[in-house]
Structure 1
Amino acid sequence: MTVIQKNAPSIVLKGLSKTFSEDIRQANYILENVDLTIKQGEFYILLGPSGCGKSTLLNILAGFIEKSDGELTINGESEESKANRGFVFQSADSALFPWLTVEENVEFGLKMKKVPLAERKEVANHFIELAGLSGHNHKFPSEISGGMKQRVQLARVLANDPQILLMDEPFGALDAMTRRTMQKELIRIWKETNKTIIFVTHDIQEALMLGQHIGIMSIGPSSKITHSYEINLPYPREITSPDFNQYYKVVQSHFD
């Protein structure tokens, strides 16, 4: 078993590019020459306008699509190693199985791995509690709110114990109050589990509420990470604080 040291490089991209053109000589690049290093246990935000390639980059990191060029290593190994990654989609409705209960959804991956029933029940219940879903074990997705569905999706991913969480605008469809609650819950869970998180958003306030580091992506085509910021603010973060507003102004300046 490979032991990953805290703050060691977890994900490294060098000159990564992506095109869907079959002729590389006439390629229109969605991503071009992306360089990025993310440390183990880090909460990293990919921030940029819609259509800039954020989700494409996240899908490459997940192994859903292949890069066209460049290097990608995860925990010191090439992406072909299929390192343990969990993906949280924007819509829980398309990710959850509507015919399964909350508990059955959370334990589904463990069942596929043939984990014994008693053990997977114990693991599922632990992450149901961690995600704030206690008492809802036997409800179906149609019987719970949108925010709770996202909690179920997050609990299911965590139950499989991924080293890396990839999150594609998971709170984008939620109302403002639920979104704020889910942001707080995600920070709590991240601190308790020490997972590496790469979180995609186009919302500056959300990026500043969550991230230790923010990578700003340029408008496509040929998008890349043009600026990176370390956010030296303690958690929980207060959106009305002078320091928060100063960071907001700096980040916002890239989109004016």
Structure 2
Amino acid sequence: MSLALQNQKDSFGANRTITIQGLNKSYGEHSGAAGGHIHYIIKNVDLVIHGGEFFVLLGPSGCGKSTLLNMIAGFISKTDGRLRIGDAEIDKPGRDRAVVFQQADSSLFPWLTVRQNVEFGLKMKKVPKRERRAISDQYIDLVGLTGHDDKLPRALSGGMKQRVQLARVLANDPEILLMDEPFGALDAMTRRTMQKELVRIWSQTKKTVVFVTHDIQEAILLGGRIGIMSQGPSSKISHIYEIPLDYPRDVSAAEFYEYYKQIQAHFDE
């Protein structure tokens, strides 16, 4: 591990905690209006995500997982409740948070090479060229794209594009990675490879990761804790599962299957 990565890993042990208390997001008329009715997307969400942990939000499609993630990102405003990082209330996007989306095509600049995409945020921050090069080298290598740095996105596979998106996010050094089903559009083999890569990268950087999925197996493969979101509307965190299995995790292991059965039974109920 490089000295820069080691220093980064040490600093992330003191990541700020994400604290969510009585969080609501609604649309429609407010209850004070005559004849009004409030439609809640999420209601009374309480959750604490500790700095440096890998936390998974798991639930069926349409339950509000992405809404909650975008509220943490600062893209969507809350209706009421508390939503804080450390002691600061979240009311807008910030450099301490970065989002990795499902479709890398929509976030990469097609006219820029892999390296230029990774360095884009650094260039906007006026980081000197030599320093930008060193940082992009580090993260291009970290995501396994060494030798592909001069390629344009159109020359890359879906999995490689997701690696570029992840490298660009990491190069900007956010404290928190917010990942909205980032592997959902990939084929099964590429998805499994990217899951392994993400665990490896997280284990080296120890950034806080909040990962959204509706796939139980993916949740158990990745998460240190899994928060189950109830079916919407008025979704909330109905249960949290601790997953103390060592990484990398084996889907064929008996312990893995036991957690799978337990969580599947939760949804069957």
Smaller-chain TM-score bracket: over 0.9
> How far did residue 9 of structure 1 move?
5.7
CA distance in 2, matches of 1:115, 1:75: 27
State how 1:184-223 maps to structure 2 within 5 Å: 184-223=196-235
TM-score (norm 1): 0.96
Indicate the residue corresponding to 1:52 in structure 2.
63
Q: Is the 8 A contact 2:15 2:208 kept in 1?
A: no
Indicate the residue corresponding to 1:18 in structure 2.
25
Residue deviations 1:134-165, cap 9 Å, x none?
00000000001000000000000000000000
Indicate the residue corresponding to 1:103 in structure 2.
115
CA distance in 2, matches of 1:123, 1:6: 21
1:76 aligns with 2:83: no
1:175 aligns with 2:182: no
CA distance in 1, matches of 2:161, 2:67: 24
Structure 1 vs Structure 2 CA RMSD? 1.5
Q: Give the 4+ runs in structure 1 shifted more than 3 A.
A: 80-83
User: In terms of mean alpha carbon deviation, does 8-17 or 96-105 score higher?
Assistant: 8-17
State how 1:103-182 maps to structure 2 within 5 Å: 103-182=115-194
Secondary structure of the corresponding residue to residue 206 of structure 1: helix
Unaligned runs of 5+ in 1: none
User: In terms of mean alpha carbon deviation, does 20-29 or 107-116 score higher?
Assistant: 20-29
Percent identity, aligned pairs only, is 63
Instruction: Tell me how many residue pairs correspond in the alignment.
Output: 254
Secondary structure of the corresponding residue to residue 267 of structure 2: coil
Indicate the residue corresponding to 2:6 in structure 1.
none
CA distance in 1, matches of 2:12, 2:178: 20
Task: Report the CA distance shift for 1:23/1:240 in structure 2 as closer, same or farther (over 3 A).
Answer: same
Secondary structure of the corresponding residue to residue 82 of structure 2: strand
Residue deviations 1:189-230, cap 9 Å, x none?
001001000000000000000000000000000000000010
Residue deviations 1:73-129, cap 9 Å, x none?
102211137361011001001111101100000000111111111111111111000
Task: Report the CA distance shift for 1:42/1:166 in structure 2 as closer, same or farther (over 3 A).
Answer: same
> How far did residue 23 of structure 1 move?
2.6
> How far did residue 242 of structure 1 move?
0.7
> How far did residue 7 of structure 1 move?
6.7
Task: Report the CA distance shift for 1:38/1:206 in structure 2 as closer, same or farther (over 3 A).
Answer: same
TM-score (norm 2): 0.91
Task: Report the CA distance shift for 1:28/1:4 in structure 2 as closer, same or farther (over 3 A).
Answer: farther
| Structure 1 counterpart of 2:207, one-letter code | K
Q: Is the 8 A contact 2:102 2:183 kept in 1?
A: yes
